[in-house]
């Protein structure tokens, strides 16, 4: 990947326009555009200034190619946590997912298991019930979803997931603002 393309991708990830990046670095929008198209090369001082605004160190900038290479994850990549006392097993499906925009996990409940109580957060959560039934307590409300159904909520209230039956339940959870 060319340096200009990497700068452009970082700028977009930070939700900045070329004009906003230019204002924060005392550079023109046109010059930012030229850098992103590899039509111009910045001085080291300018380059470091841009990276500082984008929140990336030079080491991270040049190391990023190798960090983001993995696209397919297998069981060897999963992190598994078993809580026998509360009757559940949690599998993080993507390595370092807590550092990404979304955090996908498989949560398996054994008989009458329950997951921890979460305080309100900025997270949005999607859950697909693969087997059994799942109970979501969201504030004062209770919701039940069965196999083949899904749940989507903003975690603006205290919440908890439970298997309220005496059978096995398995769900796929994808949450933003990592908090699992």
42-58 per-position pLDDT tens digit: 999 999 999 999 999 99
Q: Name the domain boundary from 40, 67, 94.
A: 67
91-130 per-position pLDDT tens digit: 999 877 767 788 999 999 988 888 989 999 888 999 999 9
Q: By residue range, what is the domain housing residue 134?
A: 75-176
Q: Give me the CATH number covering residue 99.
A: 2.60.120.10
Cα angle for residues 145, 129, 85 (degrees, 5° grid): 95
Q: Name the domain boundary from 47, 67, 87.
A: 67
Q: How crowded is residue 113: how many other Cβ atoms within 10 Å of its Cβ?
A: 21
pTM (2 decimals)?
0.64
- Identify whether residues 80 and 161 lie together within a single domain: yes
φ and ψ of 85, to 5 deg:
-60, -40
φ and ψ of 93, to 5 deg:
-85, -15
Share the mean pLDDT of the chain. Answer: 89
- Identify whether residues 89 and 124 lie together within a single domain: yes
Q: Give me the CATH number covering residue 31.
A: 1.10.260.40
In the prediction, which pLDDT does 69 show? 67
Q: What is the mean pLDDT of residues 71-95?
A: 89
- Identify whether residues 32 and 115 lie together within a single domain: no
| Number of domains making up the chain | 2
In the prediction, which pLDDT does 180 show? 57
The answer, yes or no, to whether residue 77 has pLDDT greater than 80, is yes
In the prediction, which pLDDT does 164 show? 82
Q: Name the domain boundary from 67, 94, 109.
A: 67
Q: What's the CA gap between 68 and 29, in Å, rounded?
A: 28
In the prediction, which pLDDT does 28 show? 95
Q: What is the mean pLDDT of residues 132-154?
A: 96
Q: What is the mean pLDDT of residues 136-153?
A: 96
In the prediction, which pLDDT does 66 show? 52
- Identify whether residues 22 and 85 lie together within a single domain: no
- Identify whether residues 165 and 80 lie together within a single domain: yes
- Identify whether residues 124 and 61 lie together within a single domain: no
- Identify whether residues 59 and 105 lie together within a single domain: no
């Amino acid at each position: 990947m060319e340096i200009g393309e990497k700068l452009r991708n970082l700028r977009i990830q930070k939700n900045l326009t070329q004009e906003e990046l230019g204002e924060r670095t005392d550079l023109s929008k046109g010059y930012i555009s030229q850098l992103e198209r590899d039509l111009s090369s910045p001085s080291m001082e300018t380059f470091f200034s841009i990276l500082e605004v984008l929140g990336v160190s030079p080491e991270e900038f040049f190391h990023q190619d190798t960090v983001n290479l993995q696209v397919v994850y297998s069981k060897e990549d999963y992190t598994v946590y078993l809580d026998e006392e509360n009757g559940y097993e949690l599998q993080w499906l993507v390595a370092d997912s807590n550092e990404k925009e979304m955090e996908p996990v498989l949560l398996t409940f054994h008989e009458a298991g329950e997951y921890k109580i979460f305080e309100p957060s900025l997270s949005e959560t999607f859950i697909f019930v693969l087997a059994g039934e799942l109970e979501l307590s969201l504030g004062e409300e209770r919701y039940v979803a069965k196999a083949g159904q899904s749940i989507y909520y903003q975690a603006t209230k205290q919440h908890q997931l439970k298997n309220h039956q005496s059978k096995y339940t398995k769900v796929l959870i994808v949450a933003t603002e990592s908090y699992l």
